[in-house]
Amino acid sequence: MDYFAIVLAAGQGKRMNAGENKQFITLADKPVIIHTLEVFAKDEWCKSIILVVNPNEQQRMKQLVNCYSFGKEIRLIQGGSERQESVYKGLCSIEDKTSIVFIHDGARPFVTQESLHKLAKVASAEKAAILAVPVTDTIKQRTDNQLTTLDRSLLWAAQTPQAFLFDRIYQAHKQAEENNFLGTDDASLVERLGYPVQIVRGSYNNIKLTNPEDLKRAQSFFNENG
């Protein structure tokens, strides 16, 4: 069930409004990105990690990563201006074209090893799988002045990691780039080619640190779980 992990850290964290890339924010004594890398470093199924960084922060990130001992290769590569471009660059840097690839937001430090293993098993069997949780809010769709309510029983909130057979996700990204299609996650690029993507139920704790309010939630999660 071995896999490669692409961990994305090349964003700017604009919505977090912290004055710097949110990956460097310290929570429970460590920067966010270190918490995230540690989850993958501890997973024996993860062969190596590709950390995608902002070109302007490459030196800072390298120094930070070198302060910790992960016991696993962490290769830094430069990302692009959009998340999707960063993922594509990560994929292009992988030489082993036969493996399963996990794509994960560096800003999701609470993913668990149990979820990684559930995902790896399904992705190995089905070629494409994502973590997701059932939507608990009522979701409204507004077009012009018309409001409609979506059938919540059909809705899932997609998370990361998202895991794919290398060929499948590489083809999906290549075609998206050629067609100028920009998706908000990687599975959507596979879906648009007509391939199935399986859902593996994740945890509501696997939040993405996006807005300042998320930091308070993250801090209390660390306080409660040590």
Contact positions vs ligand CTP (CB under 6 A): 8-16, 52, 79-83, 86, 105-107, 208, 210
Q: Answer whether 21's CB lies under 8 Å from 12's CB.
A: yes
Minimum distance, C-beta of residue 38 to ligand LQXTBERG, in the bound complex (Å):
19
| CB of 1 or CB of 133, closer to ligand LQXTBERG | 133
Residue 219: count other Cβ atoms within 10 Å of its Cβ.
Answer: 12
CA–CA dist 90, 88 (Å, integer): 5
Residue 79 interface partner, choices ligand CTP, ligand LQXTBERG, none, CB cut-off 5-8 Å depending on type: ligand CTP
Residue 158: count other Cβ atoms within 10 Å of its Cβ.
Answer: 17
Minimum distance, C-beta of residue 198 to ligand CTP, in the bound complex (Å):
22
Helix (H) or strand (E) holding 174: helix 166-178
- Using CB under 6 A as the binding rule, whether residue 184 contacts ligand LQXTBERG is answered as yes
* Identified binder of ligand LQXTBERG from the candidate list 159, 168, 200, 206, rule CB under 6 A: 159
CA–CA dist 159, 198 (Å, integer): 13
Under DSSP, is residue 218 helix (H, G, I), strand (E, B) or coil?
helix
Unique residue bearing structure tokens 């997609």: 158
* Identified binder of ligand LQXTBERG from the candidate list 94, 133, 135, 158, rule CB under 6 A: 158
Contacts with ligand LQXTBERG, residue ranges (CB under 6 A) = 83, 105, 158-160, 184-185, 208, 210
